[in-house]
Structure 1
Amino acid sequence: MSIARQDAWTQDEDLLLAELVLRHIREGSTQLKAFEEVGRRLSRTSAACGFRWNSYVRKQYQSGIELAKKQRKENKKENGEEIDSIPESSQVPLPAAEQIEPQAPTSSTGVTIEEVIQYLTKLDEFSKLFNKERDQLTNGYNEVKKGYEVLQEENSKLKEQLRAVEEDYHSLLQILERARKLIILEEDQKSTKVKFQMDKNGNLEKVNK
């Protein structure tokens, strides 16, 4: 089973989604079938396609939707078919997992109580799966956030250790510099203590001061 994409939607993908949904509306199909077709083409779940349509793309194609509905009605009249008594909005459920995709029941004689109950039951399952996917994404985000905080803490500790090492290094340099100056001073002092004098025979001899 291929893994469904979860990356951001592009402008071209939004355009493909709109074109297919409008085509399915014109042809008298459901938007859910359009979401399935888009999902296959883009390697996304039909639920993700439905969510993208309802939350963003649909608002940009209101006039196109009305025109597609009008064309669908005209096509049905030409073919002698009955116009659906259930509005289009009832055929678009909230997005969730791809496994369950409820469709609003339609018939030429109306909707029965049993069909309504069955539809609402599927919507409930649909919502639970959506919440499950949302919780999984939330947990994943929390784990990444926790890992980031751990790395930040480790980075702070390493910075503290680096500062301590630098301080020790500068202290060592200062000690070495003082030791070097002491050695030079002692050598100077030793050299000043050596004196020469002439003895009674005219020879130089070394004397200590």
Structure 2
Amino acid sequence: MTAVRQDAWSPDDDLILAEVTLRHIREGSTQLAAFEEVGERIGRTSAACGFRWNSCVRKRYDDAIQIAKQQRQKRNYLKKQTFVATSHVSSVGTAETEERSYKHDPVTEESLSVDSVIRFLRQWKTTYQELNRQIKSLERDLRDREEELYLLREQNEKLSHEVNNVQTDYRAVNDDYKTLIQIMDRARRLTVLNEEDETKPRFKMDANGNLERIE
């Protein structure tokens, strides 16, 4: 289980975070996976690594991030290029064979030459480029949504913590306010009673049984 450390981030920690995250970007992985790997290596939570990356480290590696994204795009392009070329070679041969059969022309080695493959690939170039652009756009949107979701979760946790603190402070202040009002009310009543006692006339009875006011 990954331990949660409260000490400050060291330059080595930031360097590890940057190297691992950039590697995951180059390889087409997600940043969340990078944060989990870094957390296991340096003994922090993946959430702490993500917050550190987005709030501090990422700003220092803007150029490196762009280069990593370009490398990832080139990597994906080469993989897809290889797959398309391999999968279409047989289609080229089939198409050329059907065309020759329809024209009653014999199939020769020349009909399956590199030039034939190139001609066939050129026919699909526009369609492939459009599909590739759509895929890249969807991949970017997915990564952006993952990062946005991660940041929103972090903000939600932070705001929830702040709301709990505010509610606790409000209850304490409200209790203190009620206590103060009660004290002030009792003090007011005591003051009124004392004033009434001081202004109330007093009498005494003389030897003849008459009441006499005492000043």
More helix by share: 2
